[in-house]
Amino acid sequence: MSAEIKPFPTTDDELKSDVRVYFSKVEGKHLLEDEDGQDWELNEGYTWIPKKTMVDEERVRQFQSVYASGGLNEVDEERRVKPKKAPKTEQPRIEKPNCAIYITSLPLDATEEEVATEFSRYGVIAVATESGHARVKLYNDEDGNFKGDALVVYHRPESVQLAIQMADDADFRIGQKGPPAIIHVTVADTTYKKQKERTAKVGKEKRKIVNNLQKLNAKLTDWDDDEPSTIPKAASKYDKMVVLKHMFTLHELATDPSAAQEIKEDIMEECEEKFKGLGTVANVTLFDQEAEGVVTVRFSTVEAANACVKVMNGRNFDGRVVEASIATGEEKFKKTIEKRDDVEEERRLAMFGDSLEEDFK
């Protein structure tokens, strides 16, 4: 059951005091994440509209309905009388949609079966025609040891985006004992091993293809839209946000114009260094109108946020004792509306650009 949705801010004062609101320099607009995890964006008329790229429960159901409503046609029988062949003409090449994802940072003891089980949550995994096995491949290093990378090929392209949005930067073995296993999921490069086009043949080969299609149909039928275990519950924004108190004084900000910027930079650098194995820092916000010296840090994962609270709570900072806690969404902190050249956004964009360059080297 969804939590009660608080009224959305519609004035400048409400925007700067509402902890749910943050400004995205990438999109050039204010964004808000409500209690159900739905993203909203503020248009020029100060009206909030749903953000189309956000995956919510409704969109997950839409993805699944594609599977529930679709069926696979059986292989047509060959005609006994074949029409005369028309002269060959050059046909434009139509690229097939990419149905594959590439996973990195998997636990080194992970198995093909474990990977297949986890990622079948997001759609039906394709089946190899010859072996009849799920198309999951684990990659080894030069010594023959698993290096933590895997390829998963889905039956339909819709599953690719769903898997990325739900599993990227998430714990592969959430709820299990041991340290978090944060994995990364991306669209597989189109240069991965191409699936060869095959012409249906009579006899044994044709029966094998029909049998595989029937297995896929059975999986599609059994994939229940209402099964809650197939949809991992995403953490809300508040579970990933840490509230830090006593990080500065109003006198300090009044006497040093650069203090606020330096404090945010110091906090971001320290959090990125201490918790880089658990998640990244998405945003640091300083509330310069709060006498308690409030700063919030938004992480990409719940694990990083919890680790931050554990490390920072009770810590001595410049003669003050820091209070650290996970945000509840009820906070009403005040701050001056910041300019759009926030250091957090610039550094995050720079880091993102560097990572893209590194991936394509």
- pLDDT bracket for residue 211 (50, 70, 90): confident
Q: Which residue has the higher pLDDT, 35 or 340?
A: 35
The arithmetic mean of pLDDT across residues 251-272, rounded, is 91
Residues with Cβ within 8 Å of 278's Cβ and at least 6 positions away in sequence, in order, are 180, 182, 299, 301, 303, 304, 307
Instruction: Give the dihedral sign, CA 324/169/300/61.
Output: negative
83 — pLDDT class (breaks 50, 70, 90): low
Collapsing DSSP to helix, strand or coil, 191 comes out as coil
Are 224 and 290 in contact by the 8 Å Cβ rule? The answer is: no
The average pLDDT across 255-261 equals 91
Most confident of the ranges 17-31, 220-234, 300-314: 300-314
Does 61-69+96-230 match 235-359 in CATH topology? yes
* Percentage of residues in the chain having pLDDT higher than 90: 30
Between these two residues, 230 and 285, which has the higher pLDDT value? 285
Please indicate whether residue 286 or residue 357 has the higher confidence score (pLDDT): 286
| Residues written for the chain | 361
CA distances 230 to 29, 73, 301, Å, are: 34, 26, 20
pLDDT band at 346 (very low <50, low <70, confident <90, very high): low
Q: Please, is 172 exposed, middle or buried when counting C-beta atoms within 10 Å of its C-beta (0-12, 13-18, 19+)?
A: buried
**Range 250-254 average pLDDT:** 92
CB 15 within 8 Å of CB 336: no
Confidence of residue 91 (pLDDT cuts 50, 70, 90): low
User: What would the 3-class secondary structure string for 279-330 be?
Assistant: CCEEEEEECCCCCCCCEEEEECCHHHHHHHHHHHCCCEECCEECEEEECCCC
Given a contact cutoff of 8 angstroms between Cβ atoms, the answer to whether 125 and 134 are in contact is yes
| Res 250: pLDDT | 93
Assign domain 61-69+96-230 one CATH number from 3.40.630.30, 3.30.70.330, 3.20.20.140, 1.10.540.10. Answer: 3.30.70.330
Domains of the chain, by residue range, sit at: 61-69+96-230, 235-359
pLDDT category at 94 given cuts 50, 70, 90 is low
Query: 284 vs 53, which has greater pLDDT?
Result: 284
Residue 115's closest CA among 154, 79, 145? Answer: 154
Least confident span in 61-65, 103-107, 178-182, 330-334: 61-65
pLDDT value at 242 more than 70: yes
For the residues 8-13, what does the mean pLDDT come to? 83
- Spatial CB neighbours of 95, under 8 Å, sequence gap ≥ 6: 190
pLDDT (0 to 100) of residue 92: 61
Q: What is the pTM of this model?
A: 0.34
How many Cα atoms occupy the beta-carbon half-sphere of 299 within 13 Å? Answer: 32
Q: Which fold has domain 235-359?
A: Alpha-Beta Plaits (3.30.70)
Out of 17-21, 201-205, 238-242, pick the least confident.
201-205
Does residue 134 surpass a pLDDT of 70?
yes
Residue 221 pLDDT > 70: no
Mean pLDDT of the residues in the chain: 77
SS3 152: strand
Lowest mean pLDDT among 178-192, 275-289, 329-343: 329-343
